[in-house]
Amino acid sequence: MDAHGPFCPGIDPHAALLTAWGLPDTVDGLERFAMTCVEAFGGAVACVKPQSAFFERFGSRGVAVLERTLEGLREAGTLTLLDAKRGDIGTTMAGYAEAYLAEHSPLRADAVTVSPYLGYGSLRPALDLAAATGRGVFVLTLTSNPEGPSVQHAVRDGATVAAGVVAGVCADNAAARAEGALGSVGMVVGATVGSAVHDLGLDLAGSAAPLLAPGLGAQGGTPEGLRRTFGDALPQVLGNSSREVLGAGPDPAALRGAARRAADELATLVEAAGA
């Protein structure tokens, strides 16, 4: 984020985007799309977020393309955040952790998104393996979908579910916080959640968590909106947009330019907020 700006473009090869790029909705089209993104984003941005679902829909051949996508970004020296939103318990959660965070896995990424709604403690296999391998997890905390508040804003024992997630992240990042650094446990907080962070009294700034903020651009999120949503935690925010940037394709130079403009805009916003 310091070197490239606080922006993370997505790789979301859904059928409509493949068509817009003049590609067939096939594994071959998927591979051409993904490799173009690797060429465009590798070495140019802080992090790239492939959406696993759009590869999985093609079965094993699609997952093989995802492996090559992660490998290509790794070779370019660019961090990857795999958006898989996995969540389970016990040995099953350990299996997901091995798939995405173990050093030997062909699907390994630098970080993976996880769902805490079987209880934050159920994520322990992924949290521990990420810490052991120098990787990270991003825990769903406040999402922008209209159904999200029915779970995330719910209250149990005097605290919201979202506040419980934040408390768990704070505990896992305690050592990093003591050193004035960001921890290996991040949170996903939608760019369009509005005043929810303030309304629920969530201390994101004190969490020492990198904060993935999806929803910029086509989904309605704006850089200025990030300032209102995140307040003092703005320097921890990694903004994410997929459709807005991918719409500049299929030319790699145009894709890279769109991503760099977004990164520069967010870097300017963070710099101004800290002035």
Instruction: Give the residue from 75, 63, 79, 74 showing the smallest Cα distance to 31.
Output: 63
Q: Which residues are catalytic?
A: 85
Cα separation, 241 vs 217, whole angstroms: 6
Cα separation, 36 vs 274, whole angstroms: 36
Neighbours of 108 (CB within 10 A): 21
Task: Provide the 3-class DSSP secondary structure of residue 230.
Answer: helix
Cα separation, 136 vs 97, whole angstroms: 11
Cα separation, 199 vs 268, whole angstroms: 27
Omega before 250 cis (within 30°)? yes
Cα separation, 161 vs 199, whole angstroms: 14
Contact 59, 27 (CB under 8 A): no
Report residue 110 as tokens.
């630098």
Provide the pairing of β-strand 155-156 with 159-160. antiparallel
